[in-house]
Amino acid sequence: MGKAFLRSNLRPDDTFAQAGYLSLFGSSIRYIQKGAGPDVLLLHGTPGSIEDWRAVFDELATGFRVTAFDRPGHGLSTPGTYRYHIEANVRYVERLIDQLDLRAPIIVGHSYGGSIAACMATQSRYPSGHYVILDSPLYHFRPDFIYRLSALPFAGKWMVALAHRTFAAKMMIRKLRQQFEVTPPAVVEALIGERLRIWLSAKAMFTHAREIVHYQRDLDRQSPAYRCISAPVTVVSGRSKSTFYADCKRFCAEVPVAEWVELGHTGHFVQFEKSRQIIDVIKSLQGNG
């Protein structure tokens, strides 16, 4: 799908209609920035887009300068030279921080975005900032077999095209419904509708598949360094079948500087399910860098 088609189907509110673009490593990256104050940078999962932060973005912008962006290959961003690994995302995030002159940002990552934040914390390039990991795989991730097929260099693109025309929408709807626990059904269906319009492009599906296939090896590579993290980290999760509660608890047990926040019963999309608590967690870090 082209940008014009996606824009016509996203129907963003006024805030997200103000998104702009910047160039990173050959990728055209859609980003949105709002507010004034300490910097907060939001990293979405896989698949994902800036719309994943809709429930918290505007309120955070009343006390922070908040930035969110579509990671390469997702949303309205192009893949450019992106290689579909967590480490590659770290390079993109660092370049974006430099280009937008974000100062000691609070880096908030959900799901795959939290795995990126954890990787960044091991490298401590921004020791005066703070990392917030929202219900993320940190040690284990097991991809469905279909993703392995979709990520094959040549046959994978054919597989994505076939999935796009046949079963992808039904599979995505089923998985998304499983990731909400306490949000009213009507709200969940509206969220799913928006995400289908964004995530069902062949570009986004292929990017997601490649990231998923590399995910476990990337976690195996970075997780031994967690014990050496010295930058402040807050980890947020809750108990349900759809969350990565065990990984998040293990991380806190291994990282002495990590602070644990338990949300109680929630689905994986904690920024929607528990938006008030997520906002309060981030606000509590103001001035703590």
> What b/e sequence results for 202-227 when a residue is b if at least 16 CB atoms lie within 10 Å of its CB, and e otherwise?
ebbbbbbbbbbbbbeebbeebbeebe
The pLDDT value given to residue 147: 60
Give the CATH H-level superfamily of domain 3-283. Answer: Alpha/Beta hydrolase fold, catalytic domain (3.40.50.1820)
Tell me the mean pLDDT in the region 269-286. 96
**pLDDT of residue 29 exceeding 90:** yes
Beta strands 233-239; 39-43: pairing state: unpaired
Q: Return the pLDDT at 4.
A: 45
Full-model pTM: 0.91
C-alpha–C-alpha distance, residues 284 and 277, integer Å: 10
Q: Mind listing the pLDDT tens digit for each residue in 246-268?
A: 999 999 999 999 999 999 999 99
218-246 pLDDT, tens digit per residue, is 999 999 999 999 999 999 999 999 999 99
* Structural domain spans, the chain: 3-283
- Judged by average pLDDT, the poorest of 28-42, 110-124, 133-147 is 133-147
